Structure 1
Amino acid sequence: MPDTDLAPRRRGRPASTSPDGGAEVQSLDRAIHLLRILAEADGMSLTDVARRAELPASTTHRLLATLQKRQLVNHDAETGLWTVGLGLFRIGAAYLRIRKLPDIGRPVIRRLLHDADETVNLSMFDGAELVVVGQAEGHASVRAFFRLGQRLPLHATAAGKSILAAAGPAFRGALLAQVRYEPLGVRTHRTERALMDDIAQIIERGYAVDNEEHTTGMRAVAAAIYNEWREPIGAVSVSGPSGRMTDDRVARLGRLITAAADQMTRLYSGADETLPPDFATYR
């Protein structure tokens, strides 16, 4: 009686045994590489593109011609230069429609919670205030807490002050004109002069500190998050009781928070699609 193979059949196309995943995958990878090269320049000759890609000119031309059919690249017959095309803009515009900072920032704030061991908040700029849109809560019995959706003032929070420091002079002036300087904590800034002195220090060191300005007994560190036009859209912050947030620890957290904000800026703006590094490197 012949042997019968009772193993279930696998569905779908068999996996490629080629080391590079197959010719089709290799061509796709090369085409994406060409798009990245063109995206960094205002126009490049075929020779320059091929040299940067480390590919033969014939292969480079074949890939560019295919991309041109899909309007992903353009070729100027008069100058001979290749540039990114309108089709690539449409793809990028689709990302702009669907991107959401809370989703993009989730892995970053989780990593930051692990490295900072204090509550991490993600807030977005809305009018003359901030709105808390994401949070990774610390595990200590005494910890800082903001509820999701809570609105925060610009003048009395580390996140808000980081936005003011990141804004251009004209925009900052418009925002400051709306500040009412309401006392919230024992050290809330009560005048524009005091706030501007603080903003100057924030610009110099790269991150903001809330020293019991929003809530008595609590301190926070924050840095602004930018869009692709280098406009502040939000901030990431770490907050905790003043007893744990010593000056030395605030300085260490400042390095962590700026690294996290920079990573979220890259992810949001599309400049970097990689997940965050271990922020402990920046301690």
Structure 2
Amino acid sequence: MERENMVKSVSRALDIITLVSLKKGGLGVTEIANQIDINKSSVYRILSTLVQYGYIEQDSETGRYKLGYKFLEISSKLLESIDLRAEARPYLQELENLTNEVIHLVVYDQGEVVYIEKLEGNETLRMHSKVGKRAPMHCTSVGKAILAYLPTNVVVDILERKGMPMHTDKTISTKEELLQELVQIRKNGYAMDLEENEYGITCIAVPIFDHLGKVIAAASISGPTMRMTDERLSHLKSQMISMGNRISKRLGFESRIS
């Protein structure tokens, strides 16, 4: 019976926390009691305990209760512990199973992308990419997916420092043309590499955002151009955007790409 009462108290405390979190200006004891059908004395006792531990605080002027800074402390620890590769892997595997193509996960570092995950798929495809290898941003779908969400001055600085070497005759080689494409990528929510990095290989990529809304990574599907037809790419776009959204959400980002 004691255990049952304890579980009930915890359940009520969580209900109160949820209720308080929904009201920016906080709630009073009576309002809480009315909304979750608990008597005021019980609500007050639970609130007092939550205040004691920092999960709830009381506004000294209004007397209303609102979320305490303890939640901020806990959430920051959670965010610090999030492992991008581990969080993304189930979604990358899902995409690999669906397409049988090569799947990449990269992070942005010092004006380049670094491959941190590569799933090979079941189809035969020879690519230069491998985990730990760096690649340019201007001619890869993952690089362009990240560039599109960086400030323009940062993009220009990267292009000026790294240059825009031609990897194939389809590589975008002027800053103006690339900046125009980045605008389109932001509108579409995905980026393409149409044999711009390697001949015979077409890629589609989406950006991945952290809890602050900052672009930190990108994921892509790569396949031979003969398999990556316009029809197939059109079908893959929505799946890629959905995957990018889901990974970003796991990192604490409120989705804005659709």
Counterpart position of 1:163: 146
Q: 1:22 to 1:123 in 2, by over 3 A?
A: farther
Matched, 1:82 2:65: yes
Of all paired residues, the percent bearing the same amino acid is: 26
In structure 2, distance between residues paired with 1:33 and 1:108 = 32
In structure 2, distance between residues paired with 1:169 and 1:179 = 15
- What amino acid is the match of 1:97? E
More deviation, 246-255/31-40: 31-40
- 1:219-258, aligned counterparts within 5 Å? 219-258=202-241
In structure 2, distance between residues paired with 1:178 and 1:171 = 11
> How far 1:23 sits from its partner (Å)?
4.5
In structure 1, distance between residues paired with 2:101 and 2:22 = 39
Q: 1:139 to 1:85 in 2, by over 3 A?
A: same
Q: Tell whether the 8 Å contact from 1:207 to 1:258 is kept in structure 2 after alignment.
A: yes
Matched, 1:42 2:33: no
- What amino acid is the match of 2:122? H
- Three-state SS of the structure 2 residue aligned to 1:203 is helix
- What amino acid is the match of 1:70? Y
Q: Normalising to structure 1: TM-score of the pair?
A: 0.79
Pick the aligned partner of 1:267 from 237, 247, 250: 250
> How far 1:48 sits from its partner (Å)?
5.4
Q: 1:271 to 1:244 in 2, by over 3 A?
A: same
More deviation, 154-163/135-144: 135-144
Q: 1:66 to 1:241 in 2, by over 3 A?
A: same
Counterpart position of 2:195: 212
Counterpart position of 1:69: 52
Matched, 1:191 2:174: yes
Counterpart position of 1:135: 118
Q: Tell whether the 8 Å contact from 1:137 to 1:145 is kept in structure 2 after alignment.
A: no
Q: Tell whether the 8 Å contact from 2:107 to 2:116 is kept in structure 1 after alignment.
A: yes
The alignment's C-alpha RMSD in Å is 2.7
Counterpart position of 1:177: 160
Q: Tell whether the 8 Å contact from 2:101 to 2:121 is kept in structure 1 after alignment.
A: yes
Matched, 1:203 2:176: no
| Superposed CA offset, 1:11-31 (max 9, x none) | xxxxx9xxxx94444543443
- What amino acid is the match of 1:140? E
More deviation, 35-44/259-268: 35-44
Q: Normalising to structure 2: TM-score of the pair?
A: 0.86
Q: 1:238 to 1:71 in 2, by over 3 A?
A: same
> How far 1:172 sits from its partner (Å)?
3.2
Counterpart position of 1:28: 10
Counterpart position of 2:93: 110
In structure 1, distance between residues paired with 2:180 and 2:11 = 51
Counterpart position of 1:147: 130
Q: 1:203 to 1:77 in 2, by over 3 A?
A: same
5+ long unaligned stretches in structure 1: 1-15, 273-281
Counterpart position of 2:77: 94
| Superposed CA offset, 1:90-147 (max 9, x none) | 2112123222100111111111212233221111111211111122221112365621
- What amino acid is the match of 1:42? K
Matched, 1:125 2:108: yes
- Three-state SS of the structure 2 residue aligned to 1:224 is strand
Q: 1:97 to 1:139 in 2, by over 3 A?
A: same
Q: Tell whether the 8 Å contact from 2:209 to 2:253 is kept in structure 1 after alignment.
A: no
> How far 1:60 sits from its partner (Å)?
4.4
> How far 1:62 sits from its partner (Å)?
3.8
